[in-house]
């Protein structure tokens, strides 16, 4: 049995997650487990980035550039799949919105020092967004403890409050990152 068949067979038998990358499409990445395969095709049970079943994908083997397996992303995705119903639940948040131009500061101040509520901050410049926990806030700046897509600690960053365009609180992306961040901390 060649290496490719070993990986596909293991995924099929154990439902171990793999990631498939296609040639000529750096954006086309599918995560799931092998349902069936032969010499020319793979049938993959695909999952969304939030751990929900997302249909079956038939992929010609000759179009596959590489297959990721037994990696950090697959382990994180397995956690998301296992707890996807928990991820859907949005906790009730009780905080006030401001009626004045200091809404950014007042919103961040209410989130300051919470290790349970994450914010996804969108900025005016380049439509960038970063998710994390609000650590400290003053009239001009705030410190964000950035959390990566699969829960990895990306360190502290200071931003200007005036650059904020939108603040998303406890959305699905934030809940996913919070869940994975807690999982990583518990795994240490």
Written in H, E and C, the secondary structure of the chain is: CCHHHHHHHHHHHHCCCEEEEECCEEEEEEEEEEEEECCCEEEEEEECCCCCEEEEEEEEHHHEEEEEECCHHHHHHHHHHHCHHHHHCCCCCCCCCCCCCCHHHHHHHHHCCCCCCCEEEEECHHHCEEEEEEEEECCCEEEEEEECCCCCEEEEEEEEHHHEEEEEECCHHHHHHHHHHHHHHHHC
Query: Given strand 141-147, what is the order of strands in its sheet?
Result: 153-160, 141-147, 129-137, 119-123, 164-169
Residues 116 and 103 in one domain: yes
pLDDT at res. 99: 83
97 with 147, same domain: the answer is yes
Domain count, the chain: 2
Domain boundaries, position 39: 3-87
Mean pLDDT of 147-161: 96
Residues 122, 47 share a domain: no
* 68-106 residue pLDDT tens: 999 999 999 999 999 999 999 887 777 788 888 899 999
Would the pLDDT of 15 be above 70?
A: yes
Please check whether residues 97 and 124 belong to one and the same domain: yes
For residues 81 and 35, membership in a common domain is answered with yes
How much of the chain exceeds pLDDT 70, in percent? 99
Domain boundary (65, 87, 109) is at: 87
Q: Say yes or no: 80 and 116 in one domain.
A: no
pLDDT confidence band for 188 (50 / 70 / 90): confident
Of residues 188 and 173, the one with the higher pLDDT is 173
Rounded to two decimals, what is the model's pTM? 0.87
Q: Are residues 182 and 97 in the same domain?
A: yes
- Does 71 share its domain with 111? no
Q: Which of 41, 67, 87 corresponds to the end of one domain? A: 87
Chain segment 116-146, per-residue pLDDT in tens: 889 999 998 777 899 999 999 999 999 999 9
Q: Note whether 148 and 110 are same-domain residues.
A: yes
pLDDT at 1 over 70: no
Residue 102: CATH number of its domain? 2.30.30.100
Q: What is the pLDDT of residue 124?
A: 83
Tell me the average pLDDT across 152-178: 94
């Amino acid at each position: 049995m060649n290496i490719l068949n070993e990986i596909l067979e293991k995924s099929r038998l154990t439902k171990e997650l793999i990631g498939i990358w296609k040639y000529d499409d750096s954006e086309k990445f599918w995560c799931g487990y092998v349902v069936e395969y032969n010499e020319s095709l793979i049938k993959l049970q695909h999952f969304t980035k939030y751990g929900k079943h997302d249909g079956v994908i038939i992929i010609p083997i000759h179009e596959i550039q590489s297959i990721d397996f037994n990696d950090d992303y697959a382990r994180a995705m397995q956690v998301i799949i296992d707890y996807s119903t928990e991820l859907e639940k949005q906790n009730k948040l009780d905080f006030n919105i401001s009626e004045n131009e200091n809404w950014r500061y007042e919103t961040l101040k209410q989130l300051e020092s919470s290790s349970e509520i994450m914010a996804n901050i969108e900025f005016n410049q380049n439509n960038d967004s970063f998710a994390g926990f609000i650590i400290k806030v003053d009239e001009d700046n705030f410190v964000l403890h950035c959390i990566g897509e699969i829960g990895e600690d990306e360190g502290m960053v200071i931003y200007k409050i005036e650059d904020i365009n939108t603040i998303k609180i406890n959305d699905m992306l934030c809940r996913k990152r919070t869940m994975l961040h807690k999982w990583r901390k518990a795994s240490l």
